[in-house]
A = this chain, B = another copy of it.
Amino acid sequence: MSQRPTLADVASAAGVSVSTASLAFSGAGPIADATRQRVLDAAAELGYSGPNPLGRQLRSGRSGIVGVVVGDALRRSFRDPVSVQLLDGLVDTIGPLGLGVLLIPGPTSPGGPAVDPLVEAAAMDVAVMLWGGTLDDPTLEALARRGIPVVVVEGHELSGVVTVGIDDRGGVAELAAHLRDLGHRRVATVTLPFGPERQGGLADLARREQIAWSIPRRRLEGLLDAGVEPVGVYEAPASLVEHGSAAARALLSGPPETRPTAVVAQSDMLAAGVVLGARELGLRVPEDVSVAGFDGLDLPWLAPDTLTTVVQPIAEKGATVGRVIQAVLAGEHPADDVLPVSLRVGTTTTAAPGA
């Protein structure tokens, strides 16, 4: 037999019907031990390694696949450990449920199609969007058209999709209050990209009106909540160390009288870049300038320094997404979830100079 054996082959070899053979593998339904053994022996004999997943999937209508839409090319998206740790928590949670993760790149090039072909045609039971998009996100629209339920991480409160997020606004507010209490009056901030166009550079007030994505907006609002009006806003095109360094050069090059005494970055990668960039400018951290981040990453290459940062439970967030997926597949309509964050004071912040 040149073809791989099917359940029918095994059944006839074992002298039973296909339905009985199916029972022997699935274990659902009554079957005599002797019969099951006979089927399994026949299977081993024929080199049959279990039911073909495609047949099973068609019948059950389930593919067992969770599509994860990454917001960018992998190499960029996964350079920030946040995405990776989240994915890890997700995989750990849904693995035991028999679900697997299909990676779907976000919009790759400006010239290319708006959505990856996988979004249009791949088999999946549910989709997850890291870095939740906006309401008119073409990916979101395509998934809705296909009737695929969506879980959005850190998105707007959208109708028809479930979101899992954190209290980033409150966390930043707490951080800002900490800096305020340390005497900082000139605070600059480095933000995550405002939208898919990913501009980089100092953002004036007009630009700040155009924030499409919710994370940079909420974290900016957190500052204001604590009464901290930033003296400079730098929009990073991605959450990467080099963009943090560029931000430092842009924000900290002025004379000491007007130079910010503290910089709040919206991610730890950016904050680390700010620290390195500040040092390149000859500034001491934290004596000349305090730097704080967001995420609570472990950055061994920054040792012996540790960032002052807002710690978010990343793996737990991934696990929460996993549980939400489970609920959605069970036909439930889970509520949006917001996880708590906490301030961790490290060695990169101290009292403002002269305060």
A157 to B117, CA, bound (A): 35
Verify if A165 is at the interface (C-beta below 8 Å from B). Answer: no
Binds B, one of A11-19, A61-69, A185-193: A61-69
Counted per complex, copies of this chain come to: 2
Interface majority SS (helix, strand, loop, mixed), chain A:
helix
Say whether A79 contacts B74, CB under 8 Å: no
A95 to B105, CA, bound (A): 9
Say whether A242 contacts B300, CB under 8 Å: yes
Contacts of A225 in B (CB 8 A): none
Contacts of A300 in B (CB 8 A): 240-242, 245, 273, 276
A70 to chain B: closest residue by CB: B91
Binds B, one of A30-38, A50-58, A250-258, A329-337: A50-58
Say whether A54 contacts B63, CB under 8 Å: yes
Q: Which of A85, A88, A272 has most B Cβ within 10 Å?
A: A88
Contacts of A123 in B (CB 8 A): 53-54, 57, 63
> For chain A residues 274-322, which have a beta carbon within 8 Å of chain B?
276, 280, 300-304, 315
A78 to B63, CA, bound (A): 26
Contacts of A240 in B (CB 8 A): 300
Say whether A145 contacts B88, CB under 8 Å: no
Verify if A73 is at the interface (C-beta below 8 Å from B). Answer: yes
Partner of A91, one of B61, B100, B103, B147: B103
Contacts of A301 in B (CB 8 A): 241, 272-273, 276, 301-302
A61 to B74, CA, bound (A): 29
Verify if A146 is at the interface (C-beta below 8 Å from B). Answer: yes
Partner of A53, one of B47, B121, B273: B121
What is the interface residue range for chain A against chain B?
Answer: 35 or more
Verify if A87 is at the interface (C-beta below 8 Å from B). Answer: yes
Given contacts A100-B103, A147-B4, contact A54 B58 (CB under 8 A): yes
* A-B interface, 8 closest residue pairs, ranked by CB to CB distance from nearest: A75-B88, A53-B123, A74-B88, A242-B300, A78-B84, A58-B58, A241-B300, A54-B58
Q: Contact residues of A with B, CB < 8 Å?
A: 4, 47, 49-50, 53-55, 57-58, 61, 63-65, 73-75, 78-79, 81, 84-85, 87-88, 91-92, 95, 98, 100-105, 108, 116-118, 120-123, 145-147, 240-242, 245, 272-273, 276, 280, 300-304, 315
Instruction: Return 24 A-B CB contacts under 8 Å, by A number.
Output: A4-B147, A50-B120, A50-B121, A54-B123, A55-B58, A63-B123, A65-B102, A73-B88, A73-B92, A75-B84, A75-B315, A78-B78, A78-B81, A84-B84, A95-B105, A95-B118, A100-B102, A100-B103, A101-B102, A102-B103, A241-B301, A245-B300, A276-B300, A276-B303
